[in-house]
Amino acid sequence: MNYRHIYHAGNFADVLKHVVLTRLIRYMQKKDGGFRVLDTHAGIGLYDLSLEEAQKTGEWLDGIGKLMEADLDPQVSELLEPYLSAIRELNPQGGIRFYPGSPKLARMLFRPQDRLSAMELHPEDYVRLHRLFEGDHHARITELDGWLALGAHLPPKEKRGIVLVDPPFEEEDEYQRLAEGLEKAYRRFPGGTYCLWYPLKKGAPIKEFHERLQALDIPKMLCAELAVRSDRGITGLTGSGLVIVNPPFTLKDELHQLLPALKDHLAQDRFASHRAFWLRGENKAVNDD
């Protein structure tokens, strides 16, 4: 209940998460039928990076700040365009003052037939999120523990959907809860595409987390990780990862282009690295650097 994403909005972890989210949305839109994005830990939806909290950490400067100024390869630029265009749309005067959280970003990319369900437990953040989408019939905002949504709000009535699970990782058992939440959700909605975020930092039980996921009866799980610095002598966040369940068949090749570019432009030291690999399903690594 104490977590405030404003301190971290637009950082390198947000960049990875939101770039992959836009690729998932664009893939879903290849079919005419509508789909739903279920965001279990939605936050406030839109972040003002000029506020004291964001300025205090300045994390966005090493994330979206760097990427917006990067000289990108044309193919990479094309893949990033939905994401970067949304940010430019929010900042018509130039620069970066406003940064979209996942629910706002998804909504900006929607067609008329697409829908959003966003969950937020923190009372003050829920009020702000609800106010942001007030009157928007494409969005349903609920004050609810996001872990409960993985049971109560699945499957969506559209029968097509992306489930984004991005907990704050304030508790020691969040990796376990993430695996348990996926297992429960998958039983209810096996055809959904799930995107699970997790932090990389020294001592984190990543190997055990991956093994727990591999033990689940889920045919295809693709993993993407980006570390921007070494974890040697550092206790904080050094990178982040995503597990994508039922990934689009195009995502493997897109990550092959995106991850090296994100590493090059967001690296904070020479130990920055990236990797993408199958936890379940196809065994060929996308990249590992």
Q: Which residues are catalytic?
A: 166
- Distance, in Å, from the CA atom of 207 to the CA atom of 201, rounded to the nearest integer, reads 12
Binding residues for S-adenosyl-L-methionine are: 18, 41, 102, 120, 145-146, 166
Contact 48, 98 (CB under 8 A): yes
Q: Give the H/E segment covering residue 180.
A: helix 174-188
Q: What is the largest CA-CA distance in the chain?
A: 50
Of 68, 20, 64, whose CA–CA distance to 255 is shortest? 20
Other Cβ atoms within 10 Å of 119 Cβ, number? 25
Tell how far CA 14 is from the center of its chain.
Answer: 6
The three-class DSSP label of residue 227 is strand
Rg (C-alpha) for the chain, rounded Å, is 18
Contact 216, 236 (CB under 8 A): no
Tokens linked to 68: 């917006």
- Which neighbouring-strand residues pair with 141? 118
Binding residues are: 18, 41, 102, 120, 145-146, 166
Give the 3-state secondary structure percentages of the chain, helix then strand then coil, rounded to 5: 40, 20, 40
Of 244, 242, 224, whose CA–CA distance to 285 is shortest? 224
Tokens linked to 179: 């695996």
- Distance, in Å, from the CA atom of 124 to the CA atom of 118, rounded to the nearest integer, reads 15
CB neighbour list of residue 164: distance below 8 Å, 6 or more residues apart = 21, 37, 38, 39, 40, 102, 195, 197
